Amino acid sequence: MHFIDIILPIPIQKTFTYSVTEDEATFLQKGMRVAVSFGKTKMYTGLVFNIHQTAPILYEAKEILQILDEKPIVNELQLKHWQWIANYYMCSLGDVYRASLPSAFLLESETILYKNEAFLDESILADDEFLIFEALQHQSQLTIHQVADILGKKKVMPTVNELIKKSAIYIKEEIYEQYKPKLVKYIRLHANYNNDDALGNLLEELSNAKKQREAVFGFFQLSSTKKPIKAKELEKKAKVSQSILKSLVDKNIFEFYHIQTDRIQFKGDTNDLKVLNEFQQKALLEIKETFKEKDVTLLHGITSSGKTEVYTKLIQQVLDQGKQVLFLLPEIALTTQIITRLQVYFGDQISVFHSKYSMNERVEVWNNVLENKTKAQIILGARSSIFLPFSNLGLIVVDEEHETSYKQFEPSPRYNARDAAIVLAKIHKAKIVLGSATPSLESYYNAQQKKYGFVELNRRHGNVLLPKIELIDVKEKHRKKEMNGHFSDRMLKLIQDALDLKEQVILFQNRRGFSPVVECKTCGVSPQCPNCDVTLTFHKFRSELRCHYCNYQRAMPNSCGACGSNTLDTKGFGTEQIELELKELFPDFKIGRMDLDTTRGKFGYQKIIGAFEAREIDVLVGTQMLSKGLDFDNVTLVGILNADSMLNFPDFRAHERAYDMMVQVSGRAGRSKKQGNVAIQTYNPFHKILQQVSTTSYTEMYKEQLQERWQYKYPPYYRVIKITLKHKDYNKVDSGVNWLFKSLYNSFGENVLGPTAPAVSRIRNQFIKNIVIKIPPKQNLANTKNHVLKIRNSFEAVKDFRPIRFIIDVDAY
Ligand code: ADP
Ligand code: ZN
Ligand code: ZN
């Protein structure tokens, strides 16, 4: 007897055992996909994890349904990495499997309808049912999708079920491939015309068909290049239509054929790498020196010091050794610029992988990496690219390593891509460099502890000085009546000065929309989201109120919903309001906005960033997207409109993050020629973080924050595991969380904090409660996690608690 253990893409802790024949066992390898049935009718794509001869004890192994691959699509290095992720982040291998593979690989079954030939009495069918039955007279099968199309509605299962009940149809589950290769149509001469006589005759034959003759002539002209000829190309060249080519194919003069191509291809020229300046050169040598002893090195380089140029040299060396490179970026906003920069050096050796790519595009990148193709030697991608099937990594670069967007919140696995990348590098025996102008406290601490190598780069390229940063006291400005809308006179002067010199300006406001709160001046009531415990944000352009947590939206009312008065007022401000104020204040200049609302769509970011680069926009207003590594050479002023909103979060990382954000966004100023300016509006100019930002004193910030982390028992000293419970019934969550707190407290005592409700305590009608477990430096991590899992099992054994969502977040943010 032969068996395989497979991973299923569902949140179940264990692998499942299925039986296979001897032939199948010989053919199958770890990392191949098989279709199996699981549960009552569902079919899933499982991944082979183990092949063996031991029957499962607790259940009878079912047979597999189908083998889906000829060779593994996941390699053993990945499986090792997945196991680490599942263990460390306390989730199932199935969760990691689902997160790793492009969804096209995870085929699920589809329900297919067939006509029951024995069914005769059509009169018992209702109208909708008859429509379906009739359609099945014309085609042998229908998918649920097609049924929805026919009926013109989404909810079709009642109709389908009724048809089954009346024995008019039966259904089957079938698996189908989702990935469709992109085929390009080419054209060539039919084999009949492979000799000169035939060709002579051909032109004769066509003497009356002018267009067809032109197509044939066009073909001969193109074929002189000896390259395959695309049908489209020929249409253009000969100025003929598709139907002319078709008629030539029908006459057996031409024939069409198809070649599979990748959807994304780089076309363009490449340049040599830049020559490093002396400081970059030194940093490069130091990094290589640290790599002799350490696998991880932190590069602390101030903004615009040219970290990217240093990375390129490291990358080149690794490519020369024939190894793969992974370049991680926190967000897509960044990739549009860095892709272009790196492509100029490395051309088509780069593949990009991120969430705005379509499923088909992702499958192509996956396959190219799997086959170690030339075009996939450097992968540039956001966090999920750590899951690609690398076989031979030599180097990982984690750019902007401090970024919180490396952490996945939802769904599981809740991994930090930086940390998972360090483990990935280890598995490949590769080196990894973490780079940032504002390293995370964790990484800087690890460097100080000599766990990581450490290299600094303290000069901006071209010796441009870091920007001058000034703090503007808004309270004072209000008192002196020197505010115009949300702008101080000083800020307006700096903007005007920059614009007068034809320089560009970036303004940062970390909220989108027009205003986050609408309030009635008569009764004080604010419109709330019906599904979440937050006020609705006013978006003026569409005159809408929107929830930023669940996307609920409705028209802005004219009067107060509570008292009926006409006295609705807005409080606070977002990017939309700033944009509108600027348009009034600077009517002769072009104002742009970059936030979630303006960057939808695949090329949303690219369009805005491109327009700003091309200087079609003079002032760009935006949210934290603007703080991410963007490189514009003509920006000399960065304004931060409301620093305080970043400082007042009830979160142990809030101050560190506020520092990062402000220093990073400031770093967009004065990158190329002259020193830039940064102006920060605040009610608390003496706040220590603002003081540290204004002097760019990273180490001061680091020491002070570290002190607090020690005092309040937080990372990097203590580790934290956050447990979140969610349910739509408040009482259920509440009794669940109290039970849980007691059991955790019995085991971990004072190191369990909570239970608390988060700032937004209900989202999408789910009430939320948190508990945080702190793990002291000497406490064994693996044992602690096992114990937490045991407590979760007991929790889930309580019938009343079973419906509660139980979320574990290791190293929570
Ligand atoms: P960082 O990533 O450290 O913020 P970048 O790598 O974006 O800095 O470099 C800032 C700017 O300076 C970029 O436009 C880059 O092209 C330019 N630059 C950096 N180093 C060099 C160099 N050695 N030669 C020419 N230009 C450079
Ligand atoms: Zn009112
Ligand atoms: Zn909501």
Q: Which residues contact 378 (CB under 8 A, 6 or more apart)?
A: 315, 319, 324, 325, 326, 327, 342, 346, 349, 350, 351
> Do both 299 and 188 map to the same domain?
no
Q: What is the pLDDT of residue 372?
A: 95
Confidence band (pLDDT; 50, 70, 90) for 333? Answer: low
For a mutational test of ligand 1's pocket, the pick from 309, 327, 660, i.e. the residue with the most ligand atoms closer than 8 A to its C-beta, is 309
Cα 555 to middle of ligand 3, angstroms:
15
188 in Cβ contact with 221 (< 8 Å): no
308 CA closest ligand 1 atom index: 6
Extended strands (E) in 580-630: 591-594, 619-622
Q: pLDDT, tens digit, for every residue of 5-44?
A: 999 988 787 899 999 999 999 999 999 999 888 876 677 8
Q: What is the pLDDT of residue 41?
A: 62
CATH number at 63 reads 3.40.1440.60
Q: How many domains does the chain have?
A: 7
Contacts 24+ apart (CB under 8 A), 243-249: 244/211, 244/212, 244/215, 245/187, 245/215, 247/212, 248/212, 248/215, 248/216, 249/187
747 in Cβ contact with 782 (< 8 Å): no
> Do both 509 and 520 map to the same domain?
no
Confidence band (pLDDT; 50, 70, 90) for 179? Answer: low
Q: What is the pLDDT of residue 612?
A: 92
Cα 201 to middle of ligand 1, angstroms:
64
> Do both 448 and 585 map to the same domain?
no
Q: pLDDT, tens digit, for every residue of 375-427?
A: 999 999 999 999 999 999 999 999 999 999 999 998 999 999 999 999 999 99
Dihedral angle computed from the Cα positions of residues 569, 575, 577 and 580, in that order, rounded to the nearest 10 degrees? -170
Cα 534 to middle of ligand 3, angstroms:
7
Task: State how far Cα 200 lies from the chain centre.
Answer: 59
Cα 27 to middle of ligand 2, angstroms:
72
Query: Closest Cα to residue 639, out of 490, 477, 515, 481?
Result: 490
Nearest listed ligand to the Cα of residue 663: 1
Q: What is the pLDDT of residue 355?
A: 73
> Do both 392 and 285 map to the same domain?
yes
- Choosing from 641, 674, 705, the residue where a domain stops is 705
Q: Does residue 712 form part of some domain?
A: no
DSSP single-letter state for residue 693? H
| pLDDT exceeds cutoff 80 at 249 | yes
Distances (CA, A) of 243 to 102, 182, 207, 215, 249: 38, 22, 18, 11, 10
CB count within 10 Å of CB 136 equals: 20
When mean pLDDT is compared over 1-10, 34-43, 183-192, 354-363, the highest value belongs to: 1-10
Q: Beta strands 517-520 and 537-539: pairing type? A: unpaired
Q: Mean pLDDT, to the nearest integer, of 794-812?
A: 95
Confidence band (pLDDT; 50, 70, 90) for 140? Answer: confident
> Do both 424 and 336 map to the same domain?
yes
Nearest listed ligand to the Cα of residue 550: 3
Average pLDDT of the residues of the chain? 90
Please classify residue 586 by burial: count the beta carbons closer than 10 Å to its beta carbon, then call 0-12 exposed, 13-18 middle and 19+ buried: middle
> Do both 195 and 313 map to the same domain?
no
307 CA closest ligand 1 atom index: 3
3-state secondary structure of 111: strand
Q: What is the pLDDT of residue 339?
A: 84
275 CA closest ligand 1 atom index: 23
Residue 801 structure tokens: 């608690």
Cβ < 6 A, ligand 1 pocket: 274-277, 280, 301, 303-309, 461, 631, 671
CATH number at 650 reads 3.40.50.300
DSSP single-letter state for residue 91? -
> Do both 345 and 438 map to the same domain?
yes
| pLDDT exceeds cutoff 80 at 267 | no
CATH number at 776 reads 3.30.70.600
Q: Does residue 600 form part of some domain?
A: yes
DSSP lists the bridge partners of residue 33 as 47
Percentage of the chain surpassing pLDDT 70? 96
> Do both 559 and 626 map to the same domain?
no
Cα 268 to middle of ligand 1, angstroms:
21
Range scoring the smallest mean pLDDT among 103-117, 237-251, 603-617: 103-117
Q: Does residue 463 form part of some domain?
A: no
Question: Which of residues 671 and 753 earns the better pLDDT score?
Answer: 753
- Choosing from 556, 572, 588, the residue where a domain stops is 572
What is the Cα gyration radius of the chain?
31
Query: Closest Cα to residue 11, out of 99, 78, 109, 73?
Result: 99
| pLDDT exceeds cutoff 80 at 310 | yes
Return phi, psi of residue 428, to 5°: -90, 0
Q: Does residue 176 form part of some domain?
A: no
> Do both 318 and 448 map to the same domain?
yes
Task: State how far Cα 796 lies from the chain centre.
Answer: 32
Residue 231 structure tokens: 């049908």
- Choosing from 59, 79, 105, the residue where a domain stops is 105
Binding-site residues from annotation? 520, 523, 529, 532, 547, 550, 560, 563
Q: Which residues contact 795 (CB under 8 A, 6 or more apart)?
A: 736, 739, 740, 743, 801, 806
Confidence band (pLDDT; 50, 70, 90) for 268? Answer: low
Q: Does residue 23 form part of some domain?
A: yes
Confidence band (pLDDT; 50, 70, 90) for 177? Answer: low
| DSSP calls for 621-677 | EESGGGGSS---TTEEEEEES-THHHH--SSTTHHHHHHHHHHHHHTTSS-SSS--E
The label of the residue with tokens 């929830």 reads: 547
341 CA closest ligand 1 atom index: 16
- State the Cα–Cα distance between residues 247 and 243, nearest whole angstrom: 6
Binding-site residues from annotation for Zn(2+)? 520, 523, 529, 532, 547, 550, 560, 563
Please classify residue 139 by burial: count the beta carbons closer than 10 Å to its beta carbon, then call 0-12 exposed, 13-18 middle and 19+ buried: exposed
Q: Mean pLDDT, to the nearest integer, of 542-549?
A: 93
> Do both 381 and 447 map to the same domain?
yes
Q: What is the pLDDT of residue 754?
A: 86
Q: pLDDT, tens digit, for every residue of 625-639?
A: 888 778 888 999 999
Q: Mean pLDDT, to the nearest integer, of 500-520?
A: 94
Owning domain of residue 756:
719-810
Q: Does residue 271 form part of some domain?
A: no
- The single-letter code of the amino acid at 63 is E
Q: Does residue 177 form part of some domain?
A: no
> Do both 64 and 188 map to the same domain?
no
Q: pLDDT, tens digit, for every residue of 424-480?
A: 999 999 999 999 999 999 999 999 999 999 999 999 988 888 899 999 999 999 999
Q: What is the pLDDT of residue 480?
A: 96
Q: What is the pLDDT of residue 262?
A: 64
> Do both 529 and 662 map to the same domain?
no
Q: Mean pLDDT, to the nearest integer, of 248-276?
A: 76
Extended strands (E) in 291-429: 296-301, 324-328, 350-353, 378-381, 393-399
Q: Does residue 598 form part of some domain?
A: yes
